[in-house]
């Protein structure tokens, strides 16, 4: 047995209370090494040796490891436990002292008490969320009277430059709510809408004002109210890592230098403030002088921005925040942010922008979710560029899920692309079949699918700013077949609870064929994709479906027979995907 590969810790993703009376534990072991893993558990004050046990199941594997998972029931919320790990040759107890053939010497892991704050308080609605990302300057122009000067023509051929304007606004979004409803999304994520001099508005001047090019407070309140009436939630972008140079506090420092009462709201190395040849203050990224970085550990800065966060949730009624550059801001700031926002509205959702392993922020005390770029990277490599096979796709996805506790996995913003990346169809070299397969995958996987505006009608574009072209509204220029495909897969997601709330297990990962099962109690949905340009025949096990004699394919509506041995034989066309479930 490869003891060095065996890992557990009694917190975080490895000991995750799902309720006060259930602790989900996870054990990581060398791939293929263990034949069984059992956990003996009991109340940590009990005098007797614990006789209750749970058999763990292998629930995921990545390149090097298998992950075993099981749920330990508890009546007292106070748990101690020890693993019993076995392979063909050996068996050991594994506790906090390490491995031993003697149970007592191995020691026990302790989850002292499942407190209220140990629980992950994810709002229930997130489980059913389908997100649509709107870059307001480019989505729809509903009010010409607020257009910036020199707007460029809103055409299919438009190619935005970093400083282009097209005139999109909030009225435009409001007018298009029926379109969004028809598509089947129910969460709108807006990139910044507060007053700012740029087209993207990540350099905020005033956190309490809607940018006049987008509308005013009245329009926004109306939009929120209407969105809610259409069953849609509204999430705004919280840019609290930095401000714009026009923000009142930074202006004050420019005007008054070191004696400004806001001088230590920023990271300024010398006075007076200068922007040339290089800014003498910290900024977002490399010397982006228009974005001075905030000192979020400063009590006044903290107080100011927590008020902002609360105001939009409590007074205006938004449903959550997406946090810009979230991994460069003080964790204590985000902890306080969570408390203020959840107090104002316990149903609010907090989504960080973290492009990498986000586990420190997803322990339950900071964010509910992140923009899932690890998902995107894997999907780009498999579907988009064909750089990896199904086994590696499965390993990368499993690895990224295993970084996190259970609940945040269900609230991930699973994106194919965003306003910061090349568009996915462009990544696919314009090959719509590959894009559709990726969309099918995205909308059946664990977590919230996030659609970047325009992807659903076949928009293309390279990286920023080309990915921010004005939305195509002319019907004959839209890819309506793709739009209808999105509607269909989103409808399937709505109709199959297992796709939203079920667990996930690999079904097949071989060559360019990838299949997985989503299971919720007795419901099971199986998804399979052929990400290759040739026909593939495959035989699949149907045990997870309860071995029915017939399965229904949900994209075509056709039924298929399974064999007496409980197998399903199918032939997949190039780039074909299927979704199976047992008839109800």
φ, ψ at 72 (rounded to 5°): -95, 120
Name the residue nearer to Ca ion (CB basis): 146 or 418. 146
Name the residue nearer to ligand ARE (CB basis): 22 or 288. 288
Q: Among positive and negative, which fits the CA dihedral 350, 351, 353, 355?
A: positive
Q: Which residues, in sequence order, are bridge partners of residue 235?
A: 189, 320
Partner whose footprint covers residue 167, from Ca ion, ligand ARE, none (CB < 5 to 8 Å by kind)? Ca ion
Partner whose footprint covers residue 355, from Ca ion, ligand ARE, none (CB < 5 to 8 Å by kind)? ligand ARE
Q: Is 353 a catalytic residue?
A: yes
3-class secondary structure per residue, 325-381: CHHHCCHHHHHHHHHHHHHHCCCCEEEECCCCCCHHHCCCCCCCEEEEHHHHHHHHH
Angle (deg, nearest 10), helices 432-444 and 480-495: 20
Yes or no: say if 293 and 267 are a contact pair by the CB < 8 Å rule.
yes
Partner whose footprint covers residue 141, from Ca ion, ligand ARE, none (CB < 5 to 8 Å by kind)? Ca ion
CB of 202 to ligand ARE, least distance (A): 3
- Alpha carbon distance 230, 64 (integer Å): 46
- Alpha carbon distance 292, 284 (integer Å): 7
Pairing mode of beta strands 577-581, 523-530: antiparallel
Query: Is 252 an interacting residue with respect to Ca ion (CB under 5 A)?
Result: no
Closest CA to 415 of 468, 354, 335: 354
Binding segment for ligand ARE among 91-99, 281-289, 523-531, 532-540 (CB under 6 A)?
Answer: 281-289
b/e sequence 10-42, b meaning 16+ C-beta within 10 Å: bebbbbbbeebeebbbbbbbbbebbeebbbbbb
- Alpha carbon distance 131, 347 (integer Å): 16
φ, ψ at 117 (rounded to 5°): -75, -10
Query: Is 211 an interacting residue with respect to ligand ARE (CB under 6 A)?
Result: no
Yes or no: say if 498 and 518 are a contact pair by the CB < 8 Å rule.
yes
Yes or no: say if 350 and 338 are a contact pair by the CB < 8 Å rule.
yes
Binding ligand ARE by CB under 6 A: which of 137, 324, 368, 576?
A: 324
Binding segment for ligand ARE among 284-292, 294-302, 387-395, 513-521 (CB under 6 A)?
Answer: 284-292
Query: Is 169 an interacting residue with respect to Ca ion (CB under 5 A)?
Result: yes
Binding segment for Ca ion among 138-146, 250-258, 441-449, 450-458 (CB under 5 A)?
Answer: 138-146
Q: Is 565 a catalytic residue?
A: no
The radius of gyration of the chain from alpha carbons, rounded to an integer in Å, stands at 26
Query: Is 175 an interacting residue with respect to Ca ion (CB under 5 A)?
Result: no
Query: Is 288 an interacting residue with respect to ligand ARE (CB under 6 A)?
Result: yes
Residue 321 CB partners (closer than 8 Å, separation 6+): 235, 236, 237, 238, 309, 312, 313, 337, 341, 348, 349, 350, 351
Name the residue nearer to ligand ARE (CB basis): 325 or 482. 325
Partner whose footprint covers residue 288, from Ca ion, ligand ARE, none (CB < 5 to 8 Å by kind)? ligand ARE
Catalytic residue among 203, 330, 353, 576: 353
By CB under 6 A, how many residues form the interface with ligand ARE? 15
Q: Which residues, numbered 465-524, are part of the site for ligand ARE (CB under 6 A)?
A: 465
3-class secondary structure per residue, 199-248: CCCCCCCEEEEECCCCCCHHHHHHHHHHHHHCCCEEEEEECCCECCCCCH
Name the residue nearer to Ca ion (CB basis): 138 or 434. 138
CB of 322 to ligand ARE, least distance (A): 9
Name the residue nearer to ligand ARE (CB basis): 84 or 334. 334
- Output the six-digit token pair for 274: 């200068």
Partner whose footprint covers residue 353, from Ca ion, ligand ARE, none (CB < 5 to 8 Å by kind)? ligand ARE
Q: Which residues, numbered 441-470, are part of the site for ligand ARE (CB under 6 A)?
A: 464-465
Q: Which residues, numbered 152-171, are part of the site for ligand ARE (CB under 6 A)?
A: 162
Name the residue nearer to Ca ion (CB basis): 168 or 465. 168
Name the residue nearer to Ca ion (CB basis): 145 or 269. 145
Query: Is 562 an interacting residue with respect to Ca ion (CB under 5 A)?
Result: no
Binding ligand ARE by CB under 6 A: which of 202, 410, 413, 445?
A: 202
Binding segment for Ca ion among 111-119, 166-174, 338-346, 416-424 (CB under 5 A)?
Answer: 166-174
3-class secondary structure per residue, 2-36: CHHHCECCCCHHHEEEEECCEEEEEEEEECCCCCE
- Alpha carbon distance 450, 357 (integer Å): 19
Catalytic residue among 66, 324, 394, 417: 324
Binding segment for ligand ARE among 136-144, 282-290, 407-415, 478-486 (CB under 6 A)?
Answer: 282-290
Query: Is 143 an interacting residue with respect to Ca ion (CB under 5 A)?
Result: yes
Yes or no: say if 49 and 34 are a contact pair by the CB < 8 Å rule.
no
Residues classed as catalytic: 324, 353
Question: Residue numbers of the site for ligand ARE (CB under 6 A)?
Answer: 162, 200, 202, 239, 284-285, 288, 324-325, 353, 355, 419-420, 464-465
Question: Residue numbers of the site for Ca ion (CB under 5 A)?
Answer: 141, 143, 146-147, 167, 169
């Amino acid at each position: 047995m490869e003891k060095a590969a065996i890992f557990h810790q009694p917190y975080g993703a490895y000991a995750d209370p799902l309720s006060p009376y259930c602790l989900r534990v996870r054990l990581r072991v060398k791939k293929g090494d263990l034949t069984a893993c059992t956990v003996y558990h009991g109340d940590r004050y009990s005098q007797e040796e614990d006789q209750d046990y749970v058999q763990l199941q292998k629930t995921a594997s990545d390149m090097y490891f298998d992950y075993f998972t099981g749920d330990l029931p508890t009546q007292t919320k106070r748990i101690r436990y020890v693993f019993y790990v076995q392979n063909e040759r050996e068996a050991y107890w594994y506790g906090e002292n390490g491995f031993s053939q003697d149970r007592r010497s191995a020691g026990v892991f302790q989850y002292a008490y499942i407190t209220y704050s140990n629980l992950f308080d994810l709002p229930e609605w997130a489980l059913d969320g389908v997100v649509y990302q709107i870059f307001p300057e480019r989505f729809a122009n509903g009010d010409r009277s607020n257009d910036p000067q020199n707007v460029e023509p809103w055409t299919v051929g438009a190619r935005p430059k970093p400083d282009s304007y097209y005139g999109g606004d909030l009225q435009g979004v409001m007018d298009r709510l029926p379109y969004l409803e028809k598509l089947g999304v129910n969460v709108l994520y807006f990139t910044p809408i507060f007053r700012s001099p740029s087209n993207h508005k990540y350099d905020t001047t005033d956190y309490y004002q809607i940018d006049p090019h987008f509308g005013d407070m009245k329009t926004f309140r109306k939009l929120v109210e209407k969105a809610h009436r259409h069953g849609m939630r509204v999430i705004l972008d919280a840019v609290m890592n930095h401000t714009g140079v026009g923000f009142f506090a930074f202006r004050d420092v420019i005007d008054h230098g070191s004696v400004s009462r806001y001088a230590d709201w920023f990271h300024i190395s010398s006075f007076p403030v200068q922007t040339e040849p290089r800014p003498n203050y910290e900024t977002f990224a490399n010397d982006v002088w228009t974005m001075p970085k905030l000192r979020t550990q400063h009590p006044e800065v903290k107080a100011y921005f927590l008020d902002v966060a609360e105001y939009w949730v409590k007074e205006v009624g938004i449903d959550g925040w997406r946090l810009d550059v979230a991994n460069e801001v003080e964790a204590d700031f985000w902890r306080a942010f969570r408390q203020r926002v959840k107090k104002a509205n316990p149903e609010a959702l907090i989504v960080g922008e973290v492009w990498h392993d986000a586990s420190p922020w997803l322990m339950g005390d900071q964010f509910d979710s992140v923009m899932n770029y690890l998902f995107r990277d894997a999907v780009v490599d498999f579907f988009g560029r064909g750089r990896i096979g199904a086994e590696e796709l499965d390993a990368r996805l499993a690895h990224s899920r295993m970084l996190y506790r259970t609940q945040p996995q269900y609230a991930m913003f699973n994106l194919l692309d965003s306003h910061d990346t090349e568009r996915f169809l462009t990544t696919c070299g314009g090959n719509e079949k590959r894009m559709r397969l990726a969309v099918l995958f995205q909308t059946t996987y664990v977590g919230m699918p996030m659609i970047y505006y325009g992807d659903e009608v076949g928009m293309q574009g390279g990286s920023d700013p080309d990915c921010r072209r004005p939305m195509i509204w002319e019907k004959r220029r839209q890819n309506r077949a793709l739009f209808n495909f999105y509607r269909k897969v989103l409808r399937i997601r709505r109709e199959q609870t297992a796709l939203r709330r079920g667990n996930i297990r690999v079904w097949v990962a071989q060559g360019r064929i990838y299949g997985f099962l989503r299971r919720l109690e007795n419901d099971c949905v199986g998804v399979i994709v052929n990400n290759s340009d040739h026909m593939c025949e495959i035989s699949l096990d149907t045990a997870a479906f309860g071995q029915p004699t017939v399965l229904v394919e949900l994209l075509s509506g056709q039924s298929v027979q399974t064999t007496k041995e409980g197998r399903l034989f199918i032939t997949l066309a190039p780039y074909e995907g299927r979704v199976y479930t047992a008839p109800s």
